[in-house]
Amino acid sequence: MKIMVVGGGGREHAIIKKIKENPNVSEIFALPGNGGMAGDATLVPIGAKDIDNIVAFAEEKGIDYAVVAPDDPLVLGCVDALEEKGIPCFGPRADAAIIEGSKVFSKNLMKKYGIPTAEYEVFDDMEAALKYLETAPAPTVIKADGLALGKGVIIATTREEAMEAVKSMMADKVFGHSGDHIVIEEFLTGPEVSVLSFTDGKCVVPMISSMDHKRAGDNDTGLNTGGMGTVAPNPYYTDDIAERCMKEIFLPTINAMNAEGRTFKGCLYFGLMLTDKGPKVIEYNCRFGDPETQVVLPLLESDLLTVMQSVTNETLADTEVQFADRHACCVIMASEGYPTAYDKGFEMTIPAEIADNVYVAGAKLADGKLLTDGGRVLGATAVADTLPEAIKDSYALVEQIHFDNAYYRHDIGARALKAKGE
């Protein structure tokens, strides 16, 4: 089988490595992929948002199955366009990807169907938003409506900060048209849990839970990033909480999307906060998380391609989805300065013995050398029987990888260890 994976980061590398385990797979194409994946996939220089060329390439090559991994092409209708040409796909159509593409849509969906989430108001007029803030409790959370590279959320601790945030989104348009509509919501507290799930619109199968580390610096300091590391499973996510989430959040969401005529098929990501009033949804993503995927898929014992195809064929209920009863830790190595300004183009060395444990996110090949080419450069993942071992082993991997200006957090997994009392 010829497989095509749309996207080019660490998440896509993890998906590609797992799909490769299926003996029926003859070739995997990554569009555009990145230089660090060259050993696992054929790189095709077509951007993930270039839907016309993605479709043309798939037809020309006779692709048997396509995985559309990033949010942008999903929201832009990449799956719809491929399916129109008869190419089976993993990923939601645009009408369902809106669950991530518009915060206003997802918040209104949760309100309509009684799915627990932070209280909120939607504004499309700046003066009204500023007036609302005069009496709203602080801290407040301000969210731009559309996709904003994970940066469209501002937690304002004071009223003044909240007003500045509203003005930057609605008047200065720092997130472009994403700021035409904004959500102002209640600030929640509690441990955060990421739960990725497979769903074919009929049933929902949660994957092993995970914990992201979003801040750039140790001890959760510094700016928000796309994610500096992950562990799985998440110790806060007990069996009791999982049962509650299935009943109160996962099934109601699938049913709500069906009721709206927007059946979701693919990977639905639940960003949850475990508050003292129970689990609540912080965000939905219409795709695998990054870097959650880099700890979740290494623990998947079942064949990923088989599971994905069962989602497409709506036979997920009859398909085994089994995770190892083990632990994984992924440490992201980034370029010093990420998530703001950073230099790139530094030569990378990854010993061949550990290449299977490394998911490359931002690299390019030039004259046979692998060079850094992004903010998040790679993730090093170790799987072990215990969480302390997984953490130790992932940092041992990091020690063996070199590039100038490498930056990483030293405390990935520390919070999880504390939660477990270890």
Q: Which residues bind ligand GLY (CB under 6 A)?
A: 150, 212, 227, 285, 289-290, 292
* Minimum distance, C-beta of residue 150 to ligand GLY, in the bound complex (Å): 5
- From the list ligand AMP, ligand GLY, none, partner contacted by residue 141 (C-beta under 5 to 8 A by kind): ligand AMP
* Minimum distance, C-beta of residue 247 to ligand AMP, in the bound complex (Å): 22
- From the list ligand GLY, ligand AMP, none, partner contacted by residue 285 (C-beta under 5 to 8 A by kind): ligand GLY
> Under a CB-based contact definition with an 8 Å cutoff, are residues 191 and 419 in contact?
yes
Closest CB to ligand AMP among residues 29, 269: 269
Give the Cα separation of 100 and 104 in Å (integer): 10
Q: What is the Cβ-side half-sphere exposure of residue 344, based on CA atoms within 13 angstroms?
A: 20
> Under a CB-based contact definition with an 8 Å cutoff, are residues 97 and 33 in contact?
no
* Minimum distance, C-beta of residue 100 to ligand GLY, in the bound complex (Å): 9
The DSSP annotation for 393-413 comes to HHHHHHHT-B-TTEE--S-TT
| The two three-digit tokens of residue 336, written as one number | 């010093």
Residues 6+ positions from 309 with CB-CB distance below 8 Å: 65, 88, 90
- From the list ligand GLY, ligand AMP, none, partner contacted by residue 251 (C-beta under 5 to 8 A by kind): none
Could you tell me how far CA 2 lies from the centroid of its own chain? 25
Q: Residue holding tokens 């060259």?
A: 38
Residues 6+ positions from 357 with CB-CB distance below 8 Å: 380, 381, 382, 397
Closest CB to ligand GLY among residues 289, 413: 289
- From the list ligand AMP, ligand GLY, none, partner contacted by residue 328 (C-beta under 5 to 8 A by kind): none
* Minimum distance, C-beta of residue 286 to ligand AMP, in the bound complex (Å): 13
Residue nearest to ligand GLY (CB): 289
* Minimum distance, C-beta of residue 376 to ligand GLY, in the bound complex (Å): 11
Closest CB to ligand AMP among residues 139, 337: 139
Element (H, E) at 360: strand 358-360
Closest CB to ligand AMP among residues 18, 181: 181
| The two three-digit tokens of residue 58, written as one number | 């798939």
- From the list ligand GLY, ligand AMP, none, partner contacted by residue 118 (C-beta under 5 to 8 A by kind): ligand AMP
Task: Specify the pairing of strand 266-275 against strand 369-372.
Answer: unpaired
Task: Specify the pairing of strand 229-232 against strand 327-335.
Answer: antiparallel
Closest CB to ligand GLY among residues 117, 310: 117
Query: Within a 10 A sphere around the Cβ of 304, how many other Cβ atoms?
Result: 22
Closest CB to ligand AMP among residues 65, 250: 250
Closest CB to ligand GLY among residues 153, 384: 153
* Minimum distance, C-beta of residue 213 to ligand GLY, in the bound complex (Å): 9
- From the list ligand AMP, ligand GLY, none, partner contacted by residue 292 (C-beta under 5 to 8 A by kind): ligand GLY
